[in-house]
Amino acid sequence: MAPKFHIQLIFFFFLLSTPSFNICSADSTDFHRWVTWNVENYKKKSLNLKKSDSLISRKMSSAVDLKLRMAEIDRMEIRVSQDGSGDFKTIREAIDTIPLYNNRRVLLHINSGVYREKVNIPRTMGFITLVGNASDPPTITGNDTASSVSGRDGTPLRTFQSATVAVDADYFMAINVKFENTAPHVVGTVGGQAVALRISGTKAAFYNCSFYGSQDTLYDHKGLHYFSNCFIQGSVDFIFGYGTSLYENCNLNSVTKKVASLTAQKRSDSSMSSGFSFKNCTITGSGSIYLGRAWGDYSRVIFSYTFMDKIVLPQGWSDWGKRTRDQKVYYGEYKCSGAGANLTGRVPWARILTDEEAMPFIGTYYINGDTWLINPSAYQL
């Protein structure tokens, strides 16, 4: 089945079905009739829109963005399958058919399989949702690194462009998808950053997804983000950026061989809302890791109700060699467990949060979730 873009068609029929008169030779009566017809028609249309809008709102909190509610009214679906049973065989082909300025929810169902593709979702292409099969999620994979040479002009890609999947659009969602960058991290080399997913748009949510990489796996670049029940694996700084993000029920798995940091949060100014909050997560894997190192002067990371295996270094946190950051960063822990959560050896500037201090970070309100989080079951996957 081909994707449905009826807008042009509808407009065509709109012209055809206009009451019979000839615009070119229209006298003023004809013109007034035409205006009246148009006004009536517009009223009817907006009434219908309001009706379906209220249907949606009953399921969706009324606090949800109007833009988002409108997008959900008129969803479209596209199927991607490598065996040819869908609309397209590759994710890129499917994305190429979506209007560059998109304002409808598009559910892109991706059948199981390994998709060796570089996927970019441009800034104006909002409301895209990648949906995979829960029991056999599709993998989107690549192996570009910061030092890979881009085909066109022979310059290195840099970290930003190394991402297998890069999302610049707002209101992005992914459900049951595996994002991967297979480039290995070689200790001591430069330019090895190899991003699996970069999310730069705001109001993005990830459910039951996994992120596999080594150095710099998940570029949580900027905006409000929600990660639920996800698996994130890497070696060095494997969650980094200055997003304002809540990670709930996620497994953070280190594959570092020596010493590395789990996060590198880049809040660089005390006025920025940016920060990573991890709630009810588990930290497992190999090597020795810091919970975070300060990429920005005001780096902010909070772990609550999180199980920390023994791989977490007693010091817990690193100022990346800049003493001046010790009094500026906000590194908090609240009700964590496991050998790695032992507070005895922590740096003195780590914060053991009180109930009151922890409160702002431990709910979806931290990311203004009320205004944009949609229960994925609304899509009847």
Ligand X SMILES: *[C@@H]1O[C@H](CO)[C@@H](O)[C@H](O)[C@H]1NC(C)=O
Residues of the shown chain interacting with ligand X in the complex, contacts defined by CB under 6 A: 112, 116, 133-136, 143, 175-176, 183, 207-208, 229, 249, 280, 342, 344, 376, 381
The least CB distance from residue 116 to ligand X, in Å, is: 6
CB 351 within 8 A of CB 331: yes
Count of C-beta atoms within a 10 Å radius of residue 337: 12
Q: Does residue 55 sit in helix, strand or coil? A: helix
CB of 185 to ligand X, least distance (A): 12
Contact 143, 129 (CB under 8 A): no
**Environment class of residue 214 by beta-carbon count within 10 Å: exposed (0-12), middle (13-18) or buried (19+)?**
buried
Cα–Cα distances (Å) from 4 to 72, 307, 372, in that order, read 15, 46, 25
Contact (CB, 8 A) for 237 and 205: no
Distance of closest approach, residue 335 Cβ to ligand X, in angstroms: 12
**3-class state of residue 340 by DSSP:** helix
Q: Is 237 a catalytic residue?
A: yes
CB of 82 to ligand X, least distance (A): 13
Residue placing its CB nearer to ligand X in the complex, 75 or 116: 116
Given 144, 216, 220, 237, the catalytic residue: 237
Nearer to ligand X, 112 or 371 (CB): 112
Cα–Cα separations (whole angstroms), residue 235 to 131, 204, 210: 27, 24, 15
What tokens were used for 316?
């817990």
Contact status, residue 164 vs residue 197, Cβ threshold 8 Å: yes
Between 52 and 229, CB nearer to ligand X? 229
CB closer to ligand X out of 118 and 351: 118
Compute CA distances 334 → 159, 252, 289, 292, 327, whole Å.
32, 17, 19, 15, 19
From the CB of 249, what's the least distance to ligand X, in Å?
4
Query: Could you tell me the smallest distance in angstroms from the CB atom of residue 60 to ligand X?
Result: 16
Q: Which is nearer to ligand X, 96 or 136 (CB)?
A: 136
Give the nearer residue to ligand X in terms of CB position, either 272 or 347. Answer: 347
Q: Which residues are identified as catalytic?
A: 237
